[in-house]
Structure 1
Amino acid sequence: MEKFDEIRPYEAGEMKEAFEALLSDRQFNAIMKGFAPWLPKGIRNGLLKLAFIGINTPLDFQKRFMKPVVNYIIRKHTDGCTFDDEALRVTNHTSHLSPLTSQSERFTFVSNHRDIVLDSAFLDVMLFNSGYHTTVEIGIGDNLLIYPWIKRLVRMNKAFTVHRGLTAHEMMRSSQLMSEYIHYAVTQKHENIWIAQREGRAKDSDDRTQESVLKMLAMGGTGDNFVDKLKDLNIVPLTISYEFDPCDYLKAQEFQQKRDNPSFKKSKQDDLDNMKTGIFGYKGRVIYRCGKPVNNWIEELRDLPKNEFFKEMASRMDKEIHAGYEPMYLNYVALDMLNGNQNYADKYSAEEKKRFMDYIESQLSKIQLPNKDEAFLRERILTMYANPLKNYLAAQ
């Protein structure tokens, strides 16, 4: 375990010390004060310590603290969150349900990326509700761990660190270590893993699996070749569909900022604003859908040369992820508006089209730029909602 200390989540014996350090953090206390400003710090922390009694593992922490919070977010800021895991319940060559409650059944979920915080948090709750034995350990970029209390909290919540902004040599070492840890977590700790299909979110929602992510996953493990190493991880392509993306206007704004200034980079405050907007913004319907596990077809690629292997694997995973989208009326509206036609007018009503157009105008009004280009920004938001449908139709 020592070799993974710089990136791994906390282990059972470290939870109490981490919690005490969290309660001693000035910034964390300021955040907590915002939730209950009428409670003195001593009483507030005393109540948190009382609630922490009996928590020995990160999974205990998720059940006690995180599950109620995420369920509240689902109730308050979505129109429901559903989980379609039928592809995991059908074993190879048979229609019988597989034993999902088996302690040895673990998965590495590789998904498109919609929200910095909630992609994995929603998945955790849905795994709980669907009878799985454990949740997921998640990879989170160290660019988001901007305060010590955030890093401490996510490590208590089963997160491992993905290092960003490294040199080529440092990146190779970091990728090797992370891959070895993921293999260790799945095969030795018997944990599920969630990781995004690419570094960062696809801001135009044209979700594509980066071959570099798959190559990283194949660096660890004990198999003789790529196929055997990847099979150990039991990879599942996972599709996340949002009806409304509360960060759409922030993504559009960033598109213009980068267009006008190619060297533009988000600040730490921008990252915090994205996290806050993603968590507390309205998302409408949210659907998670599992694709066919990679182990069902990866043997077909065994004899391919290395570069062709990863290219074909990424392509097949993309097709699984794209086929798993849940097309909604606004996706059809967006595609028709972009194309200037009504090819899919039978998929939405006049009222639904007006609702979506009003929504776009409302989002555009939130963008505060000195040289605001509304036509460009509107096209960017429409593209975000049209691309999942375009990919879905292509995957069919």
Structure 2
Amino acid sequence: MTQKVTQDLYENIRPYHDDEVVTVLARLAQDTEFLDAITHYRLPRLARHAPWLARALAGIAVKRQMRGVDSVGKLQEHIAYYMRRMLATSTDGFEVTGLDKLDPDTAYLFIGNHRDITLDPAFVNYALYQADRNTVRIAIGDNLLQKPYVTDLMRLNKSFIVPRSAKGKRAMLAAYQALSGYIRHSICVDNHSVWLAQREGRAKNGIDRADPAIIKMLTMAHRQQHKESSFADAIRELRLVPVSISYEYDPCDLQKACELYALHTEGRYEKVEFEDIRSIVSGITGNKGRIHLNFGHMLDADFETPDQVAEEITRQVLNGYHLFPSHELALEASGLAPDLVDLSEVNDSDRERFARRLESVPEHLRNWWLAQYANPALNRAGRLQDS
């Protein structure tokens, strides 16, 4: 009975359940836009000359690959295969630290920095999967769900929807109350971990800071139900664990530099249609060098305000963020803080690789490109000149 009520309460935002997987996969195998998206990347020539044939072949391939997949767990086993292949073809290594200090049977709210639309939580999931732990439910903004098939794909992979497009204060309040309630229910009732970015959107300038507004949202459900309870209790029950992810290179760094330049010179940046989808594809297929994922310590102090919680999350994220040669070389090239540059782990190969990437960046974008890699070091040292 309780499960049924929960389904009704969060039906519009929650991930799909096991008993919905077969129906959703069958729908995707017949979704024209989904099949066209597949053929655009996998069968581009056939898609141009005989789209109907390309679509039919893609539909057959989807049905064949998803044969026997009747649960979220089985679907994620398929995803794990593609993660392994992606790691082998587009990275030079993946290191995980801190996870062994967390109880494998306890649900946590993993909250961390955000660089890549889909890969940040995907790497958290892969680390958990490798350690034989349950994977997380993933918060994803509804601004990314531009097509029904994208929504289906994300919700099949344990994503739940963060409302960013609700109109009006009352609608926004109701949406965030439901979101807060779902996250709390997942942690405290289902004992199912959650991943959430520490602020809305990716930190495209490389400056990681937790947003107190996110913390306020997270405590709404507890404080609504326990009006006399303390703020510290509301935080403690969620078992927040800061997570840091660091990429040696970001496949979307040039695109981010373009956006930062436009915001600086024109005061605004207009995304083209499906730009986020292209960013997702670039992030997955582009070379990322090495990747480091660090799990911090659970927040269990007597916090009194959202700002205090945000400060502690930021502190742990920055301390757990691994600086690769790309970060040190960008800091050196920027000339902003020579005393912070540490080249002890930088070799000639690192310099050559960095120089090649920098050389490919148009002159007017170079400062914005460099900032993405230099800012984590400046931020950790409290030396940011422009936040």
- Report TM bin, short chain: 0.7 to 0.9
**Partner residue, 1:81:** 94
Whether 1:312 aligns to 2:308 is yes
Which AA in structure 2 matches 1:193? V
Secondary structure of the corresponding residue to residue 267 of structure 1? coil
Q: Distance in 2 between matches of 1:313 and 1:339?
A: 33
Which AA in structure 1 matches 2:324? M
> Where in structure 2 are the equivalents of 1:35-50 lying within 5 Å?
35=42, 45-46=59-60, 48-50=62-64
> Where in structure 2 are the equivalents of 1:154-303 lying within 5 Å?
154-166=154-166, 167-221=168-222, 222-223=225-226, 224-295=229-300, 298-299=301-302, 301=303
Gap regions ≥5 residues in structure 2: 1-6, 47-52
- For the 8 Å contact 1:238–1:288, the answer to whether it is kept is yes
Query: CA offsets, 1:5-63, max 9 Å, x none?
Result: 11111112211111111111002122344536899766654554354344333222111
Deviates more, 1:53-62 or 1:159-168: 53-62
How many residues of Structure 1 are paired with residues of Structure 2 in the alignment?
362
Cα deviation for residue 390 of structure 1 reads 2.0
**Which of 351, 356, 380 is the equivalent residue of 2:368?**
380
Which AA in structure 2 matches 1:279? I
Change (3 A) 1:323 1:159: same
Q: Distance in 2 between matches of 1:358 and 1:49?
A: 42
Gap regions ≥5 residues in structure 1: 90-97, 366-373
Cα deviation for residue 188 of structure 1 reads 2.2
- For the 8 Å contact 1:146–1:268, the answer to whether it is kept is no
Change (3 A) 1:30 1:351: closer
**Which of 354, 357, 367 is the equivalent residue of 1:359?**
357
Secondary structure of the corresponding residue to residue 143 of structure 1? helix
Deviates more, 1:265-274 or 1:178-187: 265-274
Deviates more, 1:351-360 or 1:198-207: 351-360
- For the 8 Å contact 2:325–2:343, the answer to whether it is kept is no
Q: Distance in 1 between matches of 2:309 and 2:336?
A: 35
Question: CA RMSD, aligned part only?
Answer: 2.3
**Partner residue, 2:49:** none
Whether 1:390 aligns to 2:378 is yes
Change (3 A) 1:51 1:379: closer
**Partner residue, 1:131:** 132
Cα deviation for residue 341 of structure 1 reads 6.9
Query: CA offsets, 1:204-261, max 9 Å, x none?
Result: 1110000011111111235523222222221100000110011111011011222332
Q: Distance in 2 between matches of 1:266 and 1:88?
A: 41
Change (3 A) 1:183 1:356: same
Secondary structure of the corresponding residue to residue 218 of structure 1? helix
Cα deviation for residue 153 of structure 1 reads 0.9
Q: Distance in 1 between matches of 2:241 and 2:99?
A: 12
**Which of 333, 336, 345 is the equivalent residue of 2:332?**
336
Secondary structure of the corresponding residue to residue 219 of structure 1? helix
- For the 8 Å contact 1:242–1:283, the answer to whether it is kept is yes
Q: Distance in 2 between matches of 1:330 and 1:235?
A: 30
- For the 8 Å contact 1:59–1:157, the answer to whether it is kept is no
Query: CA offsets, 1:133-191, max 9 Å, x none?
Result: x1011111111111111111111111111121333332221111101011111222221
So what's the TM-score if we normalise by structure 1?
A: 0.85
- For the 8 Å contact 1:136–1:193, the answer to whether it is kept is yes
Q: Distance in 1 between matches of 2:43 and 2:347?
A: 44
**Which of 79, 95, 101 is the equivalent residue of 1:66?**
79
Q: Distance in 1 between matches of 2:380 and 2:264?
A: 28
So what's the TM-score if we normalise by structure 2?
A: 0.86
**Partner residue, 1:371:** none
Cα deviation for residue 321 of structure 1 reads 0.5
Query: CA offsets, 1:99-137, max 9 Å, x none?
Result: x2x3xx1111001001001111121111010121x1011
Secondary structure of the corresponding residue to residue 198 of structure 1? coil
Q: Distance in 2 between matches of 1:17 and 1:361?
A: 49
Cα deviation for residue 195 of structure 1 reads 0.6
Q: Distance in 2 between matches of 1:62 and 1:123?
A: 13
Change (3 A) 1:350 1:76: closer
Change (3 A) 1:81 1:351: closer
**Which of 23, 47, 56 is the equivalent residue of 2:70?**
56
Change (3 A) 1:53 1:232: farther
Deviates more, 1:109-118 or 1:156-165: 156-165
**Partner residue, 1:368:** none
**Which of 10, 22, 40 is the equivalent residue of 1:4?**
10
Q: Distance in 2 between matches of 1:159 and 1:265?
A: 26
- For the 8 Å contact 2:292–2:322, the answer to whether it is kept is yes
Change (3 A) 1:340 1:386: closer
